[in-house]
Amino acid sequence: MLKGIINYSHYLMEGAVNKGDTVIDATCGNGHDTIFLSRLVGKDGHVFGFDIQDQAITNTERVLAQNGLTNTTIIKDSHSNFVHHIPVDKLTRLGGAIFNLGYLPGSDKSVITRSETTILAIEGILSHMKQNGIVVLVVYHGHNGGDLEREQLMRYVRLLDQKLYHVLYYGFINQKNDPPFILAVQKRN
Amino acid sequence: MLKGIINYSHYLMEGAVNKGDTVIDATCGNGHDTIFLSRLVGKDGHVFGFDIQDQAITNTERVLAQNGLTNTTIIKDSHSNFVHHIPVDKLTRLGGAIFNLGYLPGSDKSVITRSETTILAIEGILSHMKQNGIVVLVVYHGHNGGDLEREQLMRYVRLLDQKLYHVLYYGFINQKNDPPFILAVQKRN
């Protein structure tokens, strides 16, 4: 079967990220991706997870502890400030980042990611990323404000220089109710 | 690295097609996909290849012979007539089809695939396809008439019932000069 959106986002990370890499979970949410990334980079790698909501920080730290995963640092701050929280020796090993854009499932729908800070974060991450590193954006856009973030994000990634980056769109186009899709940006050799 | 369009089209076929299946190469062209499909289905499977141009038939039959691949039947006719050329026992094992839409590389750019016959062929193939079978469309659209075929095709696949089919768009969206992209239609369980 064709891979669904979440499976495919993990498949892309597996294809680009190596053991020992630093990775960023730009939107911890309920910690599902944080767990996946922690296992992906292994004991010599490190995950920096960001979220601006207390509930997300609490949930993520709890599931990490339940799974005995210690190669992680969870930070309550905007992902656009990532550079202030990652030591230089770890930043030079940045191999990937994942964003789940939209709102925290099961929480306040008025707290949403916004294109200005999302794009700031992507730009910063791309500038520090290793060659072949990847930024995977899982774009939920059915909520209030989601269409605006989607359009501004699409405009931004379409203009990334094709000599420096591959930009992939992966999505199911016959589904009702604004299903999420993937934008992936990979830094070329 | 993110898979390029041709690699990804083969990856999709590998994921859906089994040894012993019947598959359709709807546009033989220079025979590259025909060779790939012949190896994919193995000696108990069969490839039916279609093209309307003599040059494509000649080229494809030559490269198949050079590679000693005999589980193939190459037919000079429109792919929309596929059902008249495939025996029933083989049609019941139809697991996949691939289309390269556009014109024959290195040939007359005025001979192009057209949405009316392309869509007729897809509809027929989907109706005979096994569950989990896949139709992969590699959509070249930079030539004269390419934008029209692309738009009509997009409209058609977007309307396929999501309970019966998954329709995937896979494409690089920051490239100049109308690069090809993939539409894949998979029959659901």
Distance CA(A69)–CA(B130), nearest Å, equals 43
Give me the mean pLDDT over the B150-167 stretch. Answer: 97
**Between B177 and A107, residue with greater pLDDT:** B177
**Between A122 and B108, residue with greater pLDDT:** A122
Chain A contacts of B175, Cβ < 8 Å? 162
Closest A-chain CA to B12? A2
**pLDDT-based confidence at residue B18 (cuts at 50, 70, 90):** very high
pLDDT at residue A114 greater than cutoff 90 = no
Chain B contacts of A174, Cβ < 8 Å? 157-162, 165-167
Q: Is B84's Cβ below 8 Å from some Cβ in A? A: no
Q: Is A174's Cβ below 8 Å from some Cβ in B? A: yes
Q: How many helices (H) and strands (E) does chain A have?
A: 6, 7
Mutation target among A173, A176, A181, A187 for the B interface, most CBs of B within 10 A:
A173
> Counting one residue from A and one from B, how many pairs have CB atoms under 8 Å apart?
76
B73 sits in which H/E element:
strand B72-76
List pLDDT tens digits, range B64-92: 999 999 999 999 999 999 999 999 999 99
Contact A1 B169 (CB under 8 A): no
For residue B169, give the nearest of A154, A157, A173 by CB distance: A173
A123, A129, A132, A133 alpha-carbon torsion, rounded to 10°? -80
Q: Cβ of A3: how many Cβ atoms within 10 Å?
A: 16
For residue B113, the model assigns a pLDDT of 84
Q: Cβ of B184: how many Cβ atoms within 10 Å?
A: 25
pLDDT at residue A113 greater than cutoff 80 = yes
Q: Is B5's Cβ below 8 Å from some Cβ in A? A: no
Q: Is A163's Cβ below 8 Å from some Cβ in B? A: no
Which amino acid is located at A106 in the chain?
G
For residue A105, the model assigns a pLDDT of 79
* Residues 43-82 of chain B whose Cβ lies under 8 A from any Cβ of chain A: none
Q: What domains, with CATH codes, occur in chain A?
A: 5-187 (3.40.50.150)
Which amino acid is located at A109 in the chain?
K
Place of tokens 């992209």: B181
Chain A contacts of B167, Cβ < 8 Å? 172-174
Tell me which residue of B27, B20, B19, B2 sits closest to B136, measured CA to CA. B27
pLDDT at residue A185 greater than cutoff 90 = yes
Closest A-chain CA to B14? A1
pLDDT at residue A108 greater than cutoff 80 = no
Tell me which residue of A33, A148, A10, A24 sits closest to A97, measured CA to CA. A24
Contact A186 B12 (CB under 8 A): no
Pairing of strands B165-172, B46-51: unpaired
Give me the mean pLDDT over the B16-45 stretch. Answer: 97
Tell me which residue of B147, B58, B133 sits closest to B101, measured CA to CA. B147
Distance CA(B141)–CA(B177), nearest Å, equals 10
For residue B153, the model assigns a pLDDT of 96
Which stretches does DSSP call E strand in A61-133? 72-76, 94-101
Place of tokens 């003599």: B54
For residue A1, the model assigns a pLDDT of 87
For residue A70, the model assigns a pLDDT of 96
pLDDT at residue B147 greater than cutoff 80 = yes
pLDDT at residue B49 greater than cutoff 80 = yes
Taking all residues of chain A, what is their mean pLDDT, rounded to a whole number?
A: 95
For residue A57, the model assigns a pLDDT of 97
For residue B157, give the nearest of A2, A160, A174 by CB distance: A174
Q: For residue B160, how many C-alpha atoms fall within 13 Å in the half-sphere facing its CB?
A: 24
Of A15-29, A93-107, B164-178, the one with minimum mean pLDDT is: A93-107
Place of tokens 């980079």: A41
Q: In angstroms, how far is the first alpha carbon of chain B from the final one? A: 31
For residue A109, the model assigns a pLDDT of 79
For residue B50, the model assigns a pLDDT of 97
Contact B186 A159 (CB under 8 A): no
For residue B104, the model assigns a pLDDT of 78
As a whole-number percent, the residues of chain B with pLDDT over 90 amount to 88
pLDDT at residue B108 greater than cutoff 80 = no
For residue B111, the model assigns a pLDDT of 81
